[in-house]
């Protein structure tokens, strides 16, 4: 079976982890933590990185740093992982959904402003499957309404956005360097992995200090065991950061490989009339984190059946996210009752992603494409 993802740890990961073990720096202090934070923040064009235990806790403390009050609202896409909604709910605020764009599967910016109310405090755009959100209009709307933008870049390491693309001097900027705050996941299926791990990025030194305190039980620098705020243990270990530093050394190679893989899949699969392939907007350089296929309704096949038939051909896949407004746990809490987001609903039902990991060989990619062709013939 060709797996959806296998991590590729072919750089200095082992050497750096060995150093942690040899020197005894195995916990959450040590040189690799700071190096990882500094390297990743610089790569994304941000000043401060705060490494945490995973992408969900990164979102949680990013939202916490906004000091929201109950009933304050955060706008986010319906089509995303539950971590985004959890981060809002754990801060006792209210998640408000927007449907997604039918070609990028990212938050539909044309529908965004209509969701703003006097209680809106922040917008959380999510770069889905490695393709950037159209950030210019998001940032313009946020500025007009005095809102904070938390970019969830968990799936978009190294993806780039042509900032100012409708203006006179557009510039390519990396995802994770576009909002007020951004968050990453370094789970094993991500472009950069630390096994489990995450990071928040910001340009604001005061916010960075607060985030460092929140991840570490809110110890205070002046008097260690005096607490004035409820904190968390969201620390990353030096050993995980050691893997991260080795991974970041190879980021250009990783991004180039992922872009090549995405383009190769597109070349091989385009022309099949029943499929929607991932797009790449002219203002975007996608990293094709996961190569998604949306199968047309008129095939009479949904993603579950498509996945079963691919599995029979030796190809493993994963279903697309299920919209937040279709989650029993959220509906049971009285959230999103009666709300409908047609694009999100359709792609959840009809979408899956193909094996996309860095360890995938060309031969395996050919096998996957042949299997897709077979199933659809
Ligand atoms: C968009 C997005 N945000 C947040 C997360 C959460 O990251 P983690 O699994 O590291 O908690 C993920 C995980 O895949 C994700 O895809």
**113 closest CA partner among 132, 138, 136, 93:** 138
Question: Among the atoms of ligand 1, which is closest to the Cα of residue 80?
Answer: 1
At 10-36, the pLDDT tens digits run: 999 999 999 999 999 999 999 999 999
How much of the chain exceeds pLDDT 90, in percent? 98
- Alpha carbon distance 76, 323 (integer Å): 11
Q: How far is the CA of 270 from the centre of ligand 1 (A)?
A: 29
* Cβ neighbours of 263 (radius 10 Å): 13
Answer yes or no: CATH 2.40.30.10 is held by domain 13-249: no
Q: Which residue is closest in CA terms to ligand 1's atom 1?
A: 154
Q: Is the pLDDT of residue 363 over 90?
A: yes
> Of 225, 215, 231, 252, which is closest to residue 58 (Cα–Cα)?
215
Query: Which of 54, 83, 157 to mutate for ligand 1's pocket (most ligand atoms within 8 Å of CB)?
Result: 83
Q: Whose CA is nearest to atom 5 of ligand 1?
A: 55
CA nearest neighbour of 268 among 351, 376, 373:
373
Note the pLDDT of residue 223.
Answer: 87
- Euclidean distance between CA atoms 352 and 347, whole angstroms: 9
Q: What is the pLDDT of residue 52?
A: 98
Pick the CATH number of 252-376 from 3.90.1150.10, 3.40.50.2300, 3.90.550.10, 3.30.390.10: 3.90.1150.10
CA 59–ligand 1 middle distance (angstroms): 9
Residue 271 or residue 343, greater confidence:
343
Q: Give the ligand 1 atom nearest the CA of 54.
A: 10
User: What count of residues does the chain have?
Assistant: 377
Nearest to 354 by CA among 336, 367, 363: 367
Helix (H, G, I), strand (E, B) or coil at 345: helix
Which residues does ligand 1 sit against, CB inside 6 Å? 54-56, 80-81, 83, 126, 152, 154-155, 185, 187, 198
Give how far Cα 87 sits from Cα of 113, 242, 311, 369, Å.
22, 27, 34, 37
What atom of ligand 1 comes closest to residue 190's alpha carbon? 14
Ligand 1 centroid to residue 223 C-alpha, Å: 34
Structure tokens at 230: 């409820």
For the cut 90, the answer to whether the pLDDT of residue 268 exceeds it is yes
Confidence of residue 273 (pLDDT cuts 50, 70, 90): confident
CA distance 259 to 356: 11
Query: Where do the domains of the chain lie?
Result: 13-249, 252-376
Give per-residue pLDDT as tens, 229-242. Answer: 999 999 999 999 99
Atom 12 of ligand 1, residue of closest alpha carbon: 154
Averaged pLDDT, 363-371 = 98
Mean pLDDT of 137-146: 98
For residues 63 and 310, give the distance between their C-alpha atoms in angstroms, rounded to a whole number. 39
Q: Please state, in angstroms and rounded to a whole number, the distance separating the CA atoms of residues 375 and 372.
A: 5
Q: If you measure from the C-alpha of residue 257 to the centroid of ligand 1, how many angstroms do you get, rounded to a whole number? A: 22
Give the residue, by CA position, lying nearest to ligand 1 atom 15: 154
Mean pLDDT of 281-294: 98
Per-residue pLDDT tens digits for 153-193: 999 999 999 999 999 999 999 999 999 999 999 999 999 99
Going from the Cα of 328 to the center of ligand 1, the distance in angstroms, rounded, reads 20
- DSSP codes, 7-19: ----SSHHHHHHH
Mean pLDDT of the chain: 97
Q: Which of 154, 179, 186, when mutated, tests ligand 1's pocket best, judged by the most ligand atoms within 8 Å of its CB?
A: 154
Q: What pLDDT was estimated at residue 46?
A: 98
* pLDDT the model gives residue 222: 84
Res 221: pLDDT: 79
Nearest residue (by CA) to ligand 1, atom 3, is: 154
DSSP conformational letter for 2? B
pLDDT the model gives residue 345: 98
181 has which bridge partners?
A: 150, 202
Strand 181-185 relative to strand 148-152: parallel, antiparallel, unpaired?
parallel
- pTM above the 0.85 mark? yes
Atom of ligand 1 nearest to the CA of 189: 14
Does the structure show a pLDDT above 90 at 282? yes
């Amino acid at each position: 079976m060709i797996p959806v993802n296998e991590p590729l740890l072919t750089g200095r990961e082992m050497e750096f982890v060995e150093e942690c073990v040899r020197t005894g720096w195995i916990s959450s202090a040590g040189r690799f933590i700071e190096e990882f934070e500094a390297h990743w923040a610089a790569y994304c064009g941000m000043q401060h990185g705060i490494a945490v235990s995973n992408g969900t806790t990164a979102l949680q403390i990013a939202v916490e740093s906004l000091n929201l009050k109950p009933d304050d609202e955060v706008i986010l896409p319906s089509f995303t992982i539950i971590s985004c909604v959890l981060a809002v709910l754990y801060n006792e605020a209210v998640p408000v959904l927007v449907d997604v764009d039918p070609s990028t599967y990212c938050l539909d910016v044309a529908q965004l402003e209509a969701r703003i109310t006097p209680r809106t405090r922040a917008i959380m755009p999510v770069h889905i499957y490695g393709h950037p959100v159209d950030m210019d209009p998001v940032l313009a709307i946020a500025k007009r309404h005095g809102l904070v933008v938390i970019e969830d870049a968990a799936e978009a390491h190294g993806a780039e956005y042509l900032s100012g693309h409708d203006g006179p001097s557009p510039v390519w900027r990396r995802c994770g360097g576009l909002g007020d705050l951004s968050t990453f996941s370094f789970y094993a299926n991500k472009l950069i992995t630390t096994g489990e791990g995450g990071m928040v990025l910001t340009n604001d030194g005061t916010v960075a200090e607060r985030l460092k305190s929140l991840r570490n039980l809110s110890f205070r620098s002046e008097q260690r065991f005096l607490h004035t705020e409820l904190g968390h243990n969201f620390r990353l270990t030096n050993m995980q950061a050691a893997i991260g530093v080795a991974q970041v050394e190879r980021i250009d190679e990783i991004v180039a490989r992922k872009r090549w893989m995405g383009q190769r899949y597109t070349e091989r699969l385009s022309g099949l009339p029943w499929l929607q392939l991932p797009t790449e907007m002219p203002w975007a350089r996608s990293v094709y984190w996961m190569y998604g296929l949306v199968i047309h309704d008129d095939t009479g096949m949904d993603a579950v059946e498509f996945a079963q038939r691919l599995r029979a051909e030796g190809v493993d896949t994963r279903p697309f996210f299920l919209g937040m407004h279709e989650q029993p746990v959220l509906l049971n809490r009285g959230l999103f009752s009666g709300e409908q987001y047609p694009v999100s609903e359709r792609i959840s039902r009809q979408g899956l992603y193909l094996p996309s990991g860095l360890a995938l060989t060309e031969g395996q990619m050919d096998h996957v494409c042949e299997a897709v062709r077979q199933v659809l013939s």
